[in-house]
Amino acid sequence: MPTGAFVIKIDHHPNHDPYGQLNWVDETYSSCSEMIYELAQAGCFTVTAAVATKLYAGIIGDTVRFSTPETSTRTLKIASALAATDIDIATISHHEMDLTPALSKLYGYVLSE
């Protein structure tokens, strides 16, 4: 990070490690992707197909495919709005399951230890 950079922390986990000049931490969100989508809705940027793909992937990753208790109607509404941008939700979901050899090895280590 460049010296003197303005740092913004956007997080949906408990704020045990506050840092930066601006902290937006809200545990009511299921993912940072939802929070970033809200910024787009406020006019901060446009949600292109490329952006929608990344945000959708972030939501399904953080919610483990909408299975965590933090998944809410807001989560599903945002995911639906992102899907409506004609992103390829099936491909995104399949890529979320992809495991590289290194990640598979790490999972094996974690499970065995």
The backbone torsions φ and ψ at residue 95, rounded to the nearest 5 degrees and listed phi first, read -65, -30
- Residue pLDDT, tens place only, 25-56: 999 999 999 999 999 999 999 999 999 999 99
The predicted structure's pLDDT at residue 59: 96
Range of the domain at 87: 8-112
What is the rounded distance in angstroms from the CA atom of residue 36 to the CA atom of residue 24? Answer: 11
What is the rounded distance in angstroms from the CA atom of residue 57 to the CA atom of residue 26? Answer: 20
Q: What is the CATH number of the domain that holds 97?
A: 3.90.1640.10
Which pair of tokens denotes residue 96? 């979320």
At 69, is the secondary structure helix, strand, or coil? coil
Non-local (6+) Cβ contacts of 25 within 8 A are: 9, 10, 11, 12, 13, 14, 15, 18
For residue 2, being part of any structural domain is answered with no
Domain count for the chain: 1
For residue 37, being part of any structural domain is answered with yes
The predicted structure's pLDDT at residue 99: 67
For residue 62, being part of any structural domain is answered with yes
What is the rounded distance in angstroms from the CA atom of residue 51 to the CA atom of residue 46? Answer: 8
At 65, is the secondary structure helix, strand, or coil? coil
The predicted structure's pLDDT at residue 100: 73
Enumerate residue ranges in the chain where pLDDT < 50: none
- Residue 13 backbone zone (phi > 0: left; psi -120 to 50: alpha; other: beta): beta
The backbone torsions φ and ψ at residue 47, rounded to the nearest 5 degrees and listed phi first, read -90, 100
For residue 50, being part of any structural domain is answered with yes
For residue 35, being part of any structural domain is answered with yes
The predicted structure's pLDDT at residue 1: 58
